[in-house]
């Protein structure tokens, strides 16, 4: 299967850091777009709002602990090296929507294609992820485990990953309705599939 986003430009693996080894505490936070070196860790009960823009995660995971919430509209999260990956732990919540214009229009989450080996991207028991847009993780293994929920409240979402696995009581909902706005899921121009059915390839 051809990579539908092979022409999508990606940030460099290294660059100027907006923040290094960001570890937030409990409470409310608003973050700005930029490069987060060393990853981004949200402890229990942190409530994080992302301002619109592109967030580059390098050198560590996006790690949401139990009861942490990360949300934002017009947001793209990009993982650029073999140490960066999304990790949604039990009871955490990730609620984001992709931008509607610009380079990453329709892309809510992405990763460089030359990451090797890529870490597992995980959504664990009780965690909830609602994304409007495309999740493009071409080298990651996406694992949804024991009670993890993906896309239950999403309007339009598409998944592209190396592998996708479901264990325990995990639930995934992909909504692709007739006459829907496919731009919301990142389908623009030549990327618009002729067959909107799920496609599994080995």
Average pLDDT for runs of 10 along the chain of length 202: 86 93 85 95 90 97 91 96 90 89 93 86 76 90 72 66 77 47 51 48 46
Residue 39 sits at φ, ψ, to 5 deg, of 85, -170
- DSSP letter (8 states) at residue 73: S
Q: Report the pLDDT value the prediction gives residue 145, as an integer from 0 to 100.
A: 76
Two tokens, residue 150: 């993906």
The DSSP secondary-structure symbol of 152 reads T
Residue 154 tokens read as: 């999403």
Which pLDDT score is estimated for 55? 98
pLDDT attached to residue 178: 39
Cβ atoms within 10 Å of 103's Cβ, excluding its own: 11
Cα separations (Å) of 108 from 18, 21, 74, 146? 20, 22, 8, 24
Q: Are 34 and 56 in contact (CB under 8 A)?
A: yes
pTM for the structure as a whole? 0.83
Q: What is the pLDDT of residue 12?
A: 94
Q: Torsion angle of alpha carbons 109, 144, 161, 102, nearest 10°?
A: -10
Q: How far from 171 is each of 65, 157, 174, CA to CA, in Å? A: 20, 14, 10
* pLDDT score recorded for residue 26: 81
């Amino acid at each position: 299967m051809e990579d539908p986003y092979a022409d999508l430009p990606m940030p460099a693996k290294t660059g100027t850091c907006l923040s290094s080894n960001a570890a937030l505490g409990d409470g409310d936070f608003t973050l700005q777009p930029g490069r987060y070196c060393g990853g981004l860790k949200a402890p229990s009960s942190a409530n994080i709002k992302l301002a619109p823009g592109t967030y580059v995660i390098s050198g560590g995971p996006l790690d949401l602990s139990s009861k942490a919430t990360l949300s934002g509209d017009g947001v793209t999260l990009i993982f650029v090296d073999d140490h960066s990956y999304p990790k949604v732990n039990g009871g955490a919540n990730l609620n984001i929507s992709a931008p509607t214009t610009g380079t990453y229009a329709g892309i809510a989450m992405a990763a460089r294609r030359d990451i090797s080996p890529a870490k597992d991207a995980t959504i664990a028991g009780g965690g909830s992820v609602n994304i409007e847009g495309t999740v493009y993780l071409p080298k990651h293994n996406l694992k949804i485990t024991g009670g993890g929920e993906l896309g239950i409240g999403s309007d339009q979402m598409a998944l592209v990953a190396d592998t996708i696995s479901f264990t325990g009581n995990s639930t995934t909902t992909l909504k692709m309705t007739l006459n829907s706005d496919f731009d919301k899921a990142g389908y623009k121009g030549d990327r618009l599939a002729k067959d909107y059915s799920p496609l599994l390839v080995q």
